[in-house]
């Protein structure tokens, strides 16, 4: 009996020891769950690449990554905080060792960044802080000091008490907050601030906000914009209003430096985005190697005016690969606009004596990707692309760039890829002109319909934005549908719209082909509807002269084509070119149709 009791006691002790061991194992497992297995790579989540400053930052990061021999994955949030959170989570799931984040919103990303840190991933913030999270390093310019320099320049130029306006950046972004603070540190004591409004670091919004400010405050003497994109938008608004106003920006982008040289802008603050990008990678590599780094690394800023602008040189030319030939991938030649664009490109190529190979995608994205790959295999030096879909061609264009081929986009953007130059009309402004014409013709509240272009095409997106910028506040939009920039689809969609909404008074079509299709449908229904298109094709101009169509927006497709080849030749010759080349648009009505 004693032996049995002894055996039972020993067994109980063993069970307790095993239980404790199991508990120990479980606890260790929970601890290890917080440590993610990383792979020595770096992830960079950037707020947007639709801004030259961040394009330069990413270029600096990529160059340093190549130099250091580390793998860098870049994701573009497109100024969407929700997308950025998802991007960060995706980078974490891929096992990056260091996360570099340039927040859209310094508060909104904090949860995702903290979650990354909880898994043992090192974090560096660049240009903007991550609020409420202790990151490993913050690399940024002194935005407060920079804005103070900019605002003191206004005081020194105009004197104390001058009436000034402020264009603010994205609400919640630390750079916007800090630059606003620097502005008000000086302006509240020395100037008269008559207007201050958010324009989201965007050129188009900067122009629109500035137009509204000038209407409400016609005596504004100066503007401080929290970045150069908004400043350049303000310059357009001021030029349109025929005013003489001092404009100061922040970032020293190539376009801003050119505007200062031309006397259109007064000053900007020079950061060094490429240095910010490269410094972030250099310090990320130190973290991967187990080295310690400073918690804050400041990057110097400088006031740039006409007196020192020439010391800020253009980027050094990149080595040109290939045989000096140019490839042009056009979305479709089943559209007079793109036929004219190609004609302009061919004429300029003949004039310059360069080889130009043109391929027509026929509005087929899959074919266009194949076309681009084929052009690259022919050893071209520059690819000119007019995308069928601005997202779908991104991979093929990125592959071309990886081979050292320079890239120019025409008429439509390539989303998420750092190209060398974009040449296009101002589609947002053109659509605003067209829609305001409808307002002026029919009066506010009129019932209108919209024929949208190919989904995903940047021209379709921008023209839709311009239409709604005006229509949503001044008209009654009763129908809006995609018709793929096609005349037959325009007619079919318009017929359906008229059946559902027989009282439609006006139509904005995002190109003339759809407008002419709508015209057929309206004529067949025996209706009298104001129709406005976009492109000023020969058929549309003829319809305006005959009184069948009311208006269109004149781009200059031949000039877009010619300019693209001209700038491609400059790249081949080792010259630097601007990141964006706008081509003027005009409203065409019966009064000026020729």
CATH number at residue 149: 3.40.50.2300
374: containing domain? 326-423+558-574
Output the six-digit token pair for 263. 């006397």
Q: What is d(CA 320, CA 406) in angstroms, rounded to the nearest whole number?
A: 8
Residue 448: pLDDT over 80: yes
Q: How confident is the model at residue 38 (pLDDT cuts 50, 70, 90)?
A: low
pLDDT at 352: 94
Q: Write phi, then psi, for 327 (nearest 5 degrees).
A: -110, 135
Average pLDDT value for the chain? 89
Residue 199 in any domain: the answer is yes
Say whether both 113 and 166 belong to one domain: no
> Do 391 and 455 fall within a single domain?
no
For the cut 70, the answer to whether the pLDDT of residue 31 exceeds it is no
| Residue position matching structure tokens 């050893």 | 379
pLDDT at 198 over 70: yes
Nearest in space to 207 (alpha carbons), one of 227, 231, 224: 231
Grouping H, G, I as helix, E, B as strand and the rest as coil, residue 34 is coil
**166/403: higher pLDDT:** 166
Q: What pLDDT score does 28 carry?
A: 31
- In the prediction, which pLDDT does 32 show? 39
pLDDT recorded at residue 21? 39
Measured torsion, CA atoms of residues 408, 413, 416, 418, in degrees rounded to the nearest 10: 20
Q: And the tokens for 208?
A: 């629109």
Q: Average pLDDT for residues 259-284, to the nearest whole number?
A: 93
Alpha-carbon torsion (368, 372, 374, 380), positive or negative: positive
- Structural domain count, the chain: 4
Q: How far apart are CA 278 and CA 126, in angstroms?
A: 11
Q: Would you state the pLDDT for residue 319?
A: 56
**SS3 label, residue 506:** strand
Of 104, 130, 98, give the one whose Cα is nearest residue 116: 98
State whether 563 and 536 are in the same domain.
Answer: no
Q: Is the pLDDT of residue 405 over 50?
A: yes
Per-residue model confidence (pLDDT) at position 321: 72
Q: At a CB cut-off of 8 Å and minimum separation 6, what does 246 contact?
A: 154, 157, 158, 221, 222, 223, 266
Please indicate, yes or no, whether residues 565 and 419 belong to a single structural domain of this protein: yes
CA distance 43 to 102: 11
352 and 437 fall within a common domain: no
Q: Which of 299, 334, 350 is the last residue of a domain?
A: 299
Task: Find residue 73's DSSP bridge partners.
Answer: 43
Whether residues 167 and 247 share a domain: the answer is: yes
Q: How far apart are the first and last CA of the chain?
A: 118
211 φψ region: left (φ > 0), alpha (ψ -120 to 50), beta (else): alpha
Is residue 550 domain-shared with residue 570, that is, in the same domain?
Answer: no
**Is 508 within the bounds of a domain?**
yes
Kindly give, in sequence order, each residue whose CB lies less than 8 Å from that of residue 5, ignoring residues fewer than 6 positions away.
none
Structure tokens at 201: 């670091």
pLDDT at 357: 96
Give CA–CA dist 359/36, Å, rounded. Answer: 47
C-alpha to C-alpha distance for 436 and 278, rounded to whole angstroms: 46
Please tell me whether residue 494 adopts helix, strand or coil conformation. Answer: helix
Please indicate, yes or no, whether residues 509 and 531 belong to a single structural domain of this protein.
yes
Q: Residue 411: CB partners within 8 Å, gap ≥ 6?
A: 338, 341, 386, 423, 424, 425, 459, 557, 560
**Of the candidates 87, 72, 83, 101, which has an alpha carbon nearest to the alpha carbon of residue 402?**
72
407 and 474 inside one domain: no
pLDDT in tens, 43-85: 999 998 877 788 889 988 988 988 888 999 999 998 889 999 9
Task: At 464, list the tokens.
Answer: 């839709």
Between the CA of residue 229 and those of 208, 331, 400, 545, what are the distances in Å?
12, 29, 28, 39
* Interval 458-474: pLDDT, tens: 789 889 999 999 999 99
86/154 same-domain check: no
Establish if 516 belongs to a structural domain.
yes
Strand segments, DSSP code E, in 179-267 are 192-198, 222-225, 246-248
Give the residue from 422, 589, 448, 445 showing the smallest Cα distance to 505: 448
Residues 173 and 211 in one domain: yes
State how far the Cα of 28 lies from the Cα of 40, in Å rounded to an integer: 24
CA-CA distance, 543 to 487, in Å (whole number)? 14
Residue 491 structure tokens: 């007619």
Q: What is the pTM of this model?
A: 0.45
Does residue 516 contact residue 549 with C-beta atoms inside 8 Å? yes
Residue 503 falls inside a structural domain: yes
Return the minimum-mean-pLDDT range out of 96-100, 133-137, 573-577: 573-577
The answer to whether residue 15 sits within a structural domain is no
Exposed, middle or buried by CB within 10 Å (0-12, 13-18, 19+), for 273?
buried
Instruction: Give me 19's structure tokens.
Output: 């239980």
For 105-125, the pLDDT digits (tens) are 989 999 999 999 999 999 999
Q: Above 80 in pLDDT, residue 8?
A: no
pLDDT, tens digit, 9 for 90 and up, residues 284-328: 999 999 999 999 998 878 899 999 888 775 444 445 677 789 999
In a domain, 9, yes or no: no
> Is 21 inside a domain boundary?
no
127 pLDDT higher than 80:
yes
Q: Does residue 266 form part of some domain?
A: yes
What confidence tier does 26 reach under pLDDT thresholds 50, 70, 90?
very low
Name which residue leads in pLDDT, 19 or 174: 174
Average pLDDT over residues 483-490: 96
Do 418 and 565 share a domain, yes or no? yes
As a whole number, mean pLDDT of residues 214-241 equals 96
Interacting residues of 101 by C-beta distance below 8 A, sequence separation 6+: 44, 45, 84, 88, 109, 113, 123, 124, 125, 126, 130
Strands 72-76 and 42-46, bridge-based pairing = parallel
Q: Are residues 508 and 482 in contact, defined by beta-carbon separation less than 8 angstroms?
A: no
């Amino acid at each position: 009996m004693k032996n049995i009791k002894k055996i039972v006691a020993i067994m109980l002790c063993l069970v307790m020891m095993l239980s404790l061991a199991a508990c120990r194992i479980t606890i260790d497992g929970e601890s290890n769950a917080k440590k993610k297995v990383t792979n020595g790579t770096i992830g960079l989540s950037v707020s947007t690449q639709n801004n030259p400053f961040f394009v330069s930052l990413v270029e600096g990061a990529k160059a340093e990554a190549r130099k250091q021999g580390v793998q860098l994955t870049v994701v573009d949030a497109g100024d969407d905080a929700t997308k950025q959170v998802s991007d960060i989570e995706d980078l974490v799931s891929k096992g990056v060792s260091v996360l570099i984040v340039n927040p859209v919103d310094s508060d909104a990303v904090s949860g995702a960044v903290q979650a990354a840190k909880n898994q043992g991933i090192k974090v560096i913030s660049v240009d903007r802080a991550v609020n409420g999270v202790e990151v490993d390093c913050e690399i940024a310019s002194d935005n407060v000091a920079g804005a103070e320099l900019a605002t003191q320049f206004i005081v020194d130029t105009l004197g104390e008490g001058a009436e000034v306006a402020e264009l603010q950046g994205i609400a919640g972004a630390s750079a916007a907050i800090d630059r606003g603070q620097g502005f008000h540190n000086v302006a509240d004591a020395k100037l008269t601030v008559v207007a201050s409004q958010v324009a989201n670091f965007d050129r188009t919004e900067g122009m629109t906000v500035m137009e509204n400010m000038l209407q409400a405050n016609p005596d504004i003497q100066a503007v401080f914009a929290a970045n150069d994109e908004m400043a350049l938008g303000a310059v357009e608004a001021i030029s349109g209003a025929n005013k003489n106003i001092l404009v100061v920006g922040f970032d020293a982008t190539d376009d801003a430096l050119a505007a200062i040289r031309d006397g259109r802008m007064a000053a900007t603050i020079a950061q060094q985005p490429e240095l910010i990008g490269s410094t972030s990678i250099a310090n990320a590599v130190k973290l991967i190697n187990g080295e310690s780094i400073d918690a804050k690394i400041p990057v110097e800023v400088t006031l740039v005016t006409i007196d020192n602008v020439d010391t800020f040189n253009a980027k050094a030319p990149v080595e040109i690969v290939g045989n000096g030939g140019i490839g042009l991938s056009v979305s479709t030649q089943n559209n007079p606009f793109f036929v004219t664009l190609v004609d302009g490109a061919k004429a300029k190529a003949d004039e310059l004596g360069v080889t130009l190979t043109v391929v027509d995608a026929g509005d087929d994205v899959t074919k266009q990707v194949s076309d681009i790959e084929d052009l690259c295999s022919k050893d071209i030096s520059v690819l000119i692309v007019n995308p069928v879909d601005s997202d779908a061609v991104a991979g093929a264009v990125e592959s071309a760039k990886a081979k050292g081929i320079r890239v120019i986009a025409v008429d439509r953007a390539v989303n998420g890829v750092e190209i060398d130059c974009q040449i296009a009309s101002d589609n947002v402004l053109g659509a605003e002109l067209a829609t305001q014409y409808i307002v002026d013709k029919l009066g506010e509240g009129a019932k209108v319909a919209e024929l949208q272009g190919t989904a995903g095409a940047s021209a379709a997106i921008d023209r839709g934005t311009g239409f709604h910028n005006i229509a949503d506040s001044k008209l009654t939009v009763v129908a809006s549908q995609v018709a793929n920039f096609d005349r037959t689809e325009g007619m079919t969609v318009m017929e359906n719209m008229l059946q559902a909404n027989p009282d439609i008074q006006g139509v904005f079509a995002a190109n003339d082909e759809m407008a002419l299709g709508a015209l057929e449908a309206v004529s067949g229904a025996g209706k009298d509807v104001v129709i406005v298109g976009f492109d000023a094709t020969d058929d549309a101009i003829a319809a305006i002269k005959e009184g069948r169509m009311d208006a269109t927006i004149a781009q200059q497709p031949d000039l877009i084509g010619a300019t693209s080849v001209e700038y491609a030749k400059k790249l081949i010759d080792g010259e630097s070119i601007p990141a964006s080349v706008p081509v003027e648009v005009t409203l065409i009505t019966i009064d000026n149709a020729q």
